[in-house]
Structure 1
Amino acid sequence: MPKRVDHAQRRGHIIDALVRVAAAEGLHAVTMRGVAAEAGMSLNLVQYYFDSKPQLMHAALERLEQQSHERWSARLARLPHTVTAHAFIEAFCAEALPTDGPSRAFHLVWTSYAVLAMTDPELAAQPFVEGPNRLERQLTDVLRQAQAAGELAADVDASVEAARLLAMSHGLGTSVLVGQRTAEAAKAVMRHHLIGLFGLPAEV
């Protein structure tokens, strides 16, 4: 009886191979042939699952975003049941930093994809900004709930602040990737901003 092929598993194996190559050499250097070699498969088999490099790159981005969401959900589950908006957002921003292998790979691939999409119409056509849009909406909701609970000043524009927090976390993440500062130093910068935002004592 022929062996049953798990197509989802095989697709995941190919995507993981792309991420490994991209993390080591940069997304711009990725080729379908190189991914096939890393995956231990033939080029024809890789092309059976992914017609083109842009399609494979977008699939990798979606998989990395899903894994990032799973890590955030796990971190959220470890927080106390009653948690302040300040603690929630600080945990959110800490999770957004490249502090280990998986989160570093996510930042490298996403940032490289964004840069390449600026000059590649096929990449730009893919809806790769939905992940950041979703996070921005989530942050906006948390900030509005904080205002309703009296944790955050009523005159703060929640949507603008959510955009600023996301931009700051992206910028700090990049600074960690390029070695400008350590992850702990990046967390300290974000912590300082959140203390001011929530009007907390400086020693907190």
Structure 2
Amino acid sequence: MSGRAFSSIEEMDAAFAAWVPSRRDQIHKTHREVIGIRATRDHAALKPLPLTSYLVAERHLRPVGKDCLVAFGGNLYSVPARKVRPRQLVEIRATKAQVMLHSTVPDASGETLLSTHPRAVGRGVRVVEETHWDGLPTGKNRRTTTGEVTPLHREPSAGGHVGPLQALLNRAAATRVEVGRRPLSVYDELTGTRPFTTNSPTKESS
């Protein structure tokens, strides 16, 4: 029906129905059988549709953060902290309504599903199940940190070696030292030298 125009869906369907019988009487150029006969045999071999509908989902690999959150689509979704480790890759299977997070390796029972969440709308949303944070230290965002603050100032180690961080801090401190400013003539007086001049010396008259 290439090149033809139709004024309605019904007109197009009628034209297609009239074309099908003539097409099915032809011999297929690939399997060299009459198309109608081959179609009848193929239809008889089809199995019934499964009871559950086919799941259409995006599949991605993403790393787990230190706070047991996984980033996807501009949002964060939680997984159980006791079942994962930081930077571990997990598989995301996302539908229009759900986000399912799976381990790439089955557990002892053969299960891979870690968590299921409703898919967030928009961006910048955190979808968290509070029980997933069990096992993490308490604190802001419940990150896996001990909460200890490393002092910025450290004494040089034995042998006078200064680490790169301390060297950077020393350099930053040096930029804040007040430096006195004085004219160069002060140094001339201290050393007893005449100041440098570009004027030509004058000749004494005889």
Bin for the TM-score computed over the shorter chain: under 0.3
Q: Larger C-alpha radius of gyration, 1 or 2?
A: 2
Q: Taking structure 2 as the reference length, what is the TM-score of the superposition? A: 0.18
- Which has the bigger relative contact order, CA under 8 A and spacing at least 6? 1
TM-score (ref. length: structure 1): 0.18
Higher helix share: 1
